[in-house]
Amino acid sequence: MPFISFPILLIAIVHSPNVTQATRYGFIFGLGWFSFGLSWVHNAIADFGGLPLFFSLLLMLLLVAYLALFPALFSWLTFKTKDKYSLFVVIPLWLSVEYLRSVLLTGFPWLSIGYSQLTSSLSGYAPIVGELGLQAIVILLSCLIVIAFNMHTTKTKDNYKYKTVSIVALFLIPLAGQSLTYYQWSEDNKKQINLALVQGNIAQSIKWQPENEVPTMVKYYELTSPHWQSADIVIWPEAAIPRLEISSNDFLSDMDKDASESNTALITGIVDYQPNTTYAFNNIVTLGKKIQPTPLAIINIYTTIVTVNITFYLLANLFLLKVSLGN
């Protein structure tokens, strides 16, 4: 899909009559991009936040509209520079705007286009250039597609040359990526690790109710006990423990003791609240057998998701409260 949608966007920008129209194309592109990829926000707010359907959809649309501002900014910059620089200037422009999206207001780097190529021939480049590099390659190929199929209006020698080079590059770049997929980037150390994945299947609608805290932790304890002697690592889900970390010391100590006695590592998600900063993070912690790094790092992407959902939820409730007081 990126190799259809991005060339169309670039062609629309280049042939726009003015910067306003180009920016509008970018905004519409962003609306389509994020509307299809962020439906989970509506589900999270409606199903677990308790907001009416209308308001959950409204909040999702507000988030989508905000994120669509970034491709709109990219389109504005591209139109402003198209007469001064080569079309390939869109590569640093796109990467700069995507970086801004990943950091502004704590950032929201979801649906980054590099991830769309993890199962394509371009995935061979991933160990070398990472996801950011894959983004650059996608934009590069999109530029080549535009040059190859959009330079037919003036039949000059230079245009034929650029078109030929572009078509050749469109074949060689994916071909090189495919060849890289056959390279062994890591070595098999012949070690085997026995893993046990424990899922309590606790419904989200009741998981965070205070009366279900202890039954949930007991259930995970009982489901895990049969695996102490056979598993090297036991993995629990994200936020499996429905308590703040600072309130779960006794339970964590008991689990750490049981895991240590069987020389097993237990990896679990838990919410960490920091009183000195009043911030809450969705952490991963390790108990029992020590594995590096310990503790594991905070998952910043999930923290951002939680922040966005909570912020929207609070804003919506404040709005509804204001409406009710006004009536």
Residue 108, both tokens: 């929201």
Residue (of 232, 234, 229) closest to 193 by Cα position: 232
Q: Indicate whether 10 pLDDT > 80.
A: yes
Query: What's the confidence (pLDDT) of residue 243?
Result: 87
- What's the pLDDT score for residue 120? 92
- Is residue 305 scored above 90 in pLDDT? no
pLDDT, tens only, 115-138: 999 899 999 999 999 999 999 999
Amino acid identity of 215? P
In angstroms, the Cα distances linking 2 to 10, 38, 55, 117 are 12, 17, 31, 9
pTM for this predicted structure: 0.72
> At residue 323, does pLDDT exceed 50?
no
Distance CA 298, CA 175 (A): 37
Neighbours of 86 (CB within 10 A): 11
CB 232 within 8 A of CB 193: yes
- The Cα–Cα gap between 81 and 98 comes to 18
Ordered domains of the chain (ranges, CATH): 2-180 (no CATH), 195-296 (3.60.110.10)
* Residue listed under structure tokens 């499996």: 240
Residue predicted with more confidence, 280 or 302: 280
Among 62-66, 206-210, 281-285, 306-310, the minimum mean pLDDT is found in 306-310
Query: Given this model, what pLDDT does residue 291 score?
Result: 58
pLDDT of residue 190: 80
> Across the chain, what does the average pLDDT equal?
82
pLDDT of residue 44: 72
Residue 317 has pLDDT above 60, yes or no: no
What is the per-residue pLDDT across 55-112, written as a single tens digit (0 to 9) for each?
Answer: 888 888 999 999 999 999 999 999 999 877 788 899 999 999 999 999 998 788 888 9
How many Å apart are CA 196 and CA 193, to the nearest integer? 10
SS3 313: helix
Name the nearest CA neighbour of 130 among 109, 114, 141.
Answer: 114
Tokens of 70: 């970034």
Tokens of 267: 């990896």
Lowest model confidence (mean pLDDT) among 49-63, 205-219, 253-267: 49-63
What pLDDT does residue 297 have?
A: 37
User: Which parts of the chain fold into alpha helices (H)?
Assistant: 2-14, 19-37, 39-43, 49, 53-81, 90-103, 126-149, 157-180, 204-207, 213-224, 249-261, 300-326
pLDDT in tens, 143-172: 999 988 875 444 555 677 778 888 999 999
